[in-house]
């Protein structure tokens, strides 16, 4: 049985378990999703538990808490997540050898600050 791990009042039976590349969904355009990095792997299950404890937290606040928790982890545990991320990346490269990451275009246009908009109106 998996050990129960408590992280900042969050108890998880799924510590370190993340769905592999073989089970990932594709983007709507058919492109594969990039493999998760160490932080994404670490935060996968604790994020849901933290949000369940305090539903008023925004995702950015949850990420900040998770980063603080991750930074307190011993080197051995950090290495575990680094190895998982590397294995996901290697598996991804085997499954999609011709994949080239292309950043999505931002269709919202240039974001203007309120002062810039006021200057344009004047």
**Comparing C-alpha atoms, which of 31, 65, 29, 27 is closest to residue 46?**
65
Q: What is the CATH number of the domain that holds 82?
A: 1.10.30.10
pLDDT digits (tens, 9 = 90+) for 73-115: 899 989 999 999 999 899 889 988 998 888 877 766 555 555 5
d(CA 65, CA 68): 5
Q: What is the pLDDT of residue 101?
A: 85
Q: What is the pLDDT of residues 60-71, one digit of tens each?
A: 999 999 999 999
Domain boundaries, position 60: 5-121
Q: pLDDT higher for 41 or 106? A: 41
| Residue 24, pLDDT score | 66
Q: How many domains would you assign to the chain? A: 1
Average pLDDT, the chain: 76
Q: Residue 15's pLDDT band (boundaries 50, 70, 90)? A: very low
Give 3-state DSSP helix, strand, coil % of the chain, rounded to 5: 50, 5, 45
Out of 8-12, 22-26, 28-32, 95-99, pick the least confident.
8-12
């Amino acid at each position: 049985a998996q050990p129960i791990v408590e992280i900042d009042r969050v108890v998880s039976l799924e510590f370190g378990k993340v769905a592999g590349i073989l089970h990932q969904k594709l983007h709507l355009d058919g492109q594969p999703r990039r493999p998760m990095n160490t932080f994404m792997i670490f935060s996968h299950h604790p994020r849901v538990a933290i949000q369940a404890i305090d539903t008023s937290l925004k995702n950015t606040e949850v990420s900040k808490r998770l980063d603080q928790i991750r930074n307190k982890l011993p080197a051995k545990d950090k290495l575990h997540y680094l190895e998982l991320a590397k294995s996901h990346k290697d598996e991804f490269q085997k499954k999609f050898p011709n994949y080239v990451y292309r950043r999505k275009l931002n269709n919202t246009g240039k974001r203007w600050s309120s002062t810039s908009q006021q200057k344009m109106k004047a």
